[in-house]
Amino acid sequence: MMVDLYLRAPGDPNYVEDVTMTSDLSENTITQVRMTVLTKKGEVLGEPEFGFDPTKYLFEFEGTDLQPMEREANNQILEYVMMSKIYSIKAVPFTFNDDMNVYRMGLGLGISIEGVREFAAFYG
């Protein structure tokens, strides 16, 4: 049985109060994926290839293909998320715009596990 830290924040709609550790496989998988796509490459000592660096895509995504971003995120998940050997985990990039501010836009990664969208990470 794998036990991991429970890292959901109080603002998360699935947050459970007073839980610090969890052995739920899907919860542990979500935590591993979050740690992988929200850690910048090079930030983990001894693992220079661990992490995802969305900043290199932030100023180049408008009107271009998001395939390189998708490929990099999915490769990181396959390499570093242990449960990707059991579950089908998919990162799908998307863009978003702020209708109130035309200069504010960004990138996101929608993460689905077994076809169910679990969360999205926003960069921008």
Collapsed DSSP state (helix, strand, coil) of residue 54: coil
Say what the pTM is. Answer: 0.79
Is the dihedral angle over the CA atoms 52, 112, 74, 80 positive or is it negative? positive
Both tokens assigned to 1 = 């049985």
* DSSP code of residue 38: T
Residue 3's pLDDT is what? 84
> What rounded mean pLDDT belongs to the chain?
82
Q: Are 32 and 81 in contact (CB under 8 A)?
A: yes
Residue 34's pLDDT is what? 86
Segments making up each domain of the chain, as ranges:
4-87
